[in-house]
Structure 1
Amino acid sequence: MTGPFADHPISVSFELFPPKTDKGEKSLARNVDRLATAAPDYFSVTYGAGGSTRDRTARVVDMVRRRTGQPVAHHLTCVGASRKEIDAQAARLLEGGITRIVALRGDLPDGQTLAADGYADAAELVAGLRRVGDFDISVAAYPEVHPEAASPQADLDHLKRKIDAGANRAITQYTFDTDVILRFIDRARAGGISAPIVPGIMPVANFAGLKAFSAKCGASVPDWVARMFEGLDDAPDTRAMVATSVATEQCRRLMAEGVSEFHFYTLNRPEVTLAICRALGLSPEIPAETAA
């Protein structure tokens, strides 16, 4: 890496989600080309509740591999399938050259429960994947505690179960309060978790959407963040600059504390993520801007 942080090299990864339409997939392909210029360690592609995006996830994973030549992590969840079905899907991924997995319990659709013959949680899923083959497995971590956890300690204990079952690393839910992330890492280390803990970074593309999503997943949005984006709903350029500043400052603070890996929830939009990477010393290609 060159630039102002050349003495503190970092690695990044980019999360994508499967678009709902063929037109969206074509647009994503162009954005993937742009994101690839930042040379991420890998991309990851999410997976809908109950496997609802299974086909599109597979297509996006294949598209990203073909266009970039870089590793792609396929999300897998416990929802909507038996152990046998999940194991068979994992085996097919391995046969197809997909060796990275993000293993999650997954969100249960309203009124749905996990299959009686399925994996009960992500720790069991990780153990099952280890039996299938030599995957590189990431799991989720929650600095602000998973909404369904009985307590912060119970949540941390569950993370340790996932790591002990064979996960290679934990990727955190996004958290705007950097102190919360740092305290969580300290607690994890004190609790015997030595695997890498990679902060998840959320560039703010749409603040109203962010608030709605955060309420569902248990991530808090501090008042200072709300104030920074207040009145910018119809000012996308300024909003992008503010979003870049917020995320860059968080990454720099984490880097000062020794963090060197970041996972960006790109929302399939490259602009702010690439600007953050540039500010952190990476050198992605930024296309020339045309006058209005």
Structure 2
Amino acid sequence: MQGLVFWLIYPILWLISILPFRIFYIVSDMVFILVYHVIGYRRKTVRDNLELVFPEKSESEIKQIRKKFYRHMCDMFLEMIKSISISEKEIEKRFTFTNVEYLRKLESLDKSLVVMLGHYASYEWINALQLYGLKYRTYGIYKKIKNKQFDDLAKRIRGRFGGTLITTNKTTEVILKNREKGILGNYAMIADQSPKLSRARTWVNFMGIKVPVFEGSDRLARKMDMAVVYLHVEKVGRGYYQATLKPITEDAPNEPKHAITRKFVEYLEEQIYNKPEYYLWTHKRWKHRNESIPKNAEIIN
């Protein structure tokens, strides 16, 4: 059944992916009308999230941010589809890195790198990093897709420019095996996911609201002596993104406890406050805010 669903949907996705960008974004505009005005996908969730973290903003300001967000979200979703067929030349033009020389400097340290990022702007075309002639391979940490065919498609898309996907439960195993073989890599991890309450061992003030946070990137960097950077992505035009690698630490084992996580949160908050329309507000990031914090939990100040 899963295979049937894939083969019914994939031809449509492929046809959308090969559209010229001018027509491609007309399709995105049509999807926006459907998602925002007709279906109203998670509009209440988005409104509630925005009102929660921006209590000082008026109703009209919240509506304006919400509408801009949905336009961006539809673009980003369609750009994921575009990844099926986008050329190297096109992706190099549309997702640029401002300071690749800093990454080359980190490569000279002979240690792997954790690239921390949030659900902000776009992370879909980060595999463009492989086109800069770097020594390290780029790995993306992701949650496995239940439909095997779509999961295989995601891997093929990432592999087109030399990137590799690793499922969350295999991350440590793969990094250890790579280290044993002398293989160093850039491991990209989306770090603003909301953990299950049963695993909420660390809490932090995020956008003024106390919520649980994953510290996998922090712990992994400390344990394996990996350098850590934040991927600061800005949307500079429709279909155009600019990424800057901002330093967090080159010496993770000697950082104060939780310092890596705290710096990541600060960088992400700064971006959201500056241009909130590019954060993924459909994500229920604050769903545990009213839960009791476990007695054995640690709170990052």
Q: Which has the larger radius of gyration?
A: 2
**TM-score, scaled to structure 1:** 0.32
More strand as a share of residues: 2
**TM-score, scaled to structure 2:** 0.31
More helix as a share of residues: 2
